[in-house]
């Protein structure tokens, strides 16, 4: 049976995910402003809006797709309608994202949080999509027992921790 998004009924995701937790648990820091009006910083020529209550929160990235991410937090997630964050992981440095919390599951003292991107540059969406597809292709080659599982142009190479990873790819520039 197929879901309305065209995928098998057991998989409802629109975009493939990079399953970060299976290969690498990536610590990140959420930085966000509470849903309160920004204060004004008076300068000599103009006024600049700055967040009045900037907050930070450590988290662990568990998966990533072009449309969102999942993470684990040890504190309640941001109670904001939307927030801005900068994602920095190997291969994606200082990626500016705006998102909203769409799912929170409390498990003991931790929270599993799903975040949908509301604003992300198309070029980064394409990079994340390629990473997810290349990781999936690699897993297929490994599952089939092919001798060359790691390929030179793999978009997932920087996050990969598989034993089949070829250390000389991609070439250093």
Domain assignments of the chain as residue spans, ordered by start: 20-120
Question: What's the farthest any 2 CA atoms get from each other in the chain?
Answer: 66
Q: Which two tokens stand for residue 43?
A: 């300068």
pLDDT of residue 167: 72
Backbone dihedral angles phi then psi of residue 133, each to the nearest 5 degrees: -65, -45
- CA 168 to each of CA 40, 78, 90, 146, 159: distance values in angstroms, whole numbers, following the listed order: 51, 41, 17, 18, 15
CATH superfamily of 20-120: predicted glycosyltransferase like domains (2.40.10.220)
Strands of 20-151 (E only): list them.
26-33, 39-42, 47-50, 54-64, 68-73, 83-89, 92-107, 110-119
- CA 68 to each of CA 25, 118, 120, 146, 165: distance values in angstroms, whole numbers, following the listed order: 17, 9, 10, 32, 26
Q: What is the pLDDT along the chain (173 residues), one digit of tens a residue?
A: 454 555 554 555 567 666 664 444 567 777 666 555 444 444 444 444 444 556 778 888 888 899 999 989 888 887 777 778 888 787 888 888 899 989 999 999 999 999 999 999 999 999 999 999 998 999 999 999 988 888 888 888 887 878 888 776 666 65
pLDDT of residue 88: 79
Rg (CA), the chain: 19
pLDDT of residue 152: 83
pLDDT of residue 68: 93
Residue indicated by tokens 């995928």: 7
pLDDT of residue 46: 43
Backbone dihedral angles phi then psi of residue 20, each to the nearest 5 degrees: -60, -40
Pairing of strands 54-64, 68-73: antiparallel
């Amino acid at each position: 049976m197929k879901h309305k998004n065209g995928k098998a009924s057991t998989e409802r995701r629109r975009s493939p995910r990079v399953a970060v937790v299976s290969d690498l648990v990536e610590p990140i820091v959420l930085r966000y402003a509470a849903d309160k009006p920004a204060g004004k910083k008076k300068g000599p020529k103009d006024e600049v809006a700055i967040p009045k209550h900037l907050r930070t929160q450590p988290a662990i990235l568990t998966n990533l797709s072009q449309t969102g991410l999942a993470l684990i937090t040890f504190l309640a997630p941001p109670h904001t309608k939307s927030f801005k964050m900068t994602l920095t992981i190997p291969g994606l440095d200082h990626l500016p994202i705006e998102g909203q919390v769409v799912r929170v599951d409390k498990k003991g003292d931790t929270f599993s949080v799903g975040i949908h991107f509301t604003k992300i540059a198309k070029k980064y969406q394409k990079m994340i999509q390629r990473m997810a597809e290349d990781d999936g292709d690699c897993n297929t080659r490994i599952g089939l027992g092919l001798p060359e599982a790691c390929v030179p142009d793999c978009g997932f190479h920087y996050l990969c921790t598989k034993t089949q990873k070829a250390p000389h790819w991609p070439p250093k520039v």
